[in-house]
Amino acid sequence: MSTGFRPGEVAELAGVSVDTVRRWVDSGRLASTTGSGGRRVIDGPDLARFLAAMAPASAPAPVVARSARNRFPGVVTRVVKDRVTAQVEVQAGPHRVVSLMTREAADELGLVPGARAVASVKATNVVVELPGER
């Protein structure tokens, strides 16, 4: 269920401006094609690889006085399935969200790298910290 993304959609998913996406395309960092009407289109699997590669290798800088929302729109970057379960990774801006689900659910949803997805997080216990100087 791979799809193409317009630069505005890529900007929203990556947490950057549309101008930044255009610069990525113009510089060759992110591949695009020309779709109907002459508009740029970024292929889903290409976007998934790009977002996974640009994700921070280590923890991002501490955030002070902000709590994450519980819905993370993004792009599926990886799906690993065995006979019963599936591990699905979604890159939502700077956040990598990993979900464990049944293989049947992943198959029914058509989750493949490049597919648009929203990771909804619901927990009975969520810890919010305000890091400061030690």
Domain ranges of the chain: 4-54, 71-120
Strands (E), the chain: 4-5, 33-34, 40-43, 71-81, 85-92, 95-102, 116-120
Q: What CA–CA distance (Å, rounded) separates 68 from 78?
A: 22
Does residue 39 surpass a pLDDT of 80?
yes
Between 69 and 85, where is the model more confident? 85
Of the candidate ranges 36-45, 73-82, 122-131, the one whose mean pLDDT is the lowest? 122-131
Under the banding of pLDDT at 50, 70 and 90, the label for residue 125 is low
Rounded to whole angstroms, the Cα distance separating 53 from 38 reads 28
Residue 21's DSSP bridge partners are none
Q: Provide the total of helices (H) and of strands (E) in the chain, helices listed first.
A: 4, 7
Name the band, by pLDDT with cuts 50, 70 and 90, for residue 66: very low
Tell me what pLDDT residue 111 has: 94
Which CATH number is 71-120 given? Answer: 2.40.50.100
73 contacts 116 by C-beta, under 8 angstroms: yes
Its CATH architecture, for the domain 4-54, is Orthogonal Bundle (1.10)
d(Cα 86, Cα 76) in Å, to the nearest integer? 13
Residue 70 binned pLDDT confidence (cut-offs 50, 70, 90): confident
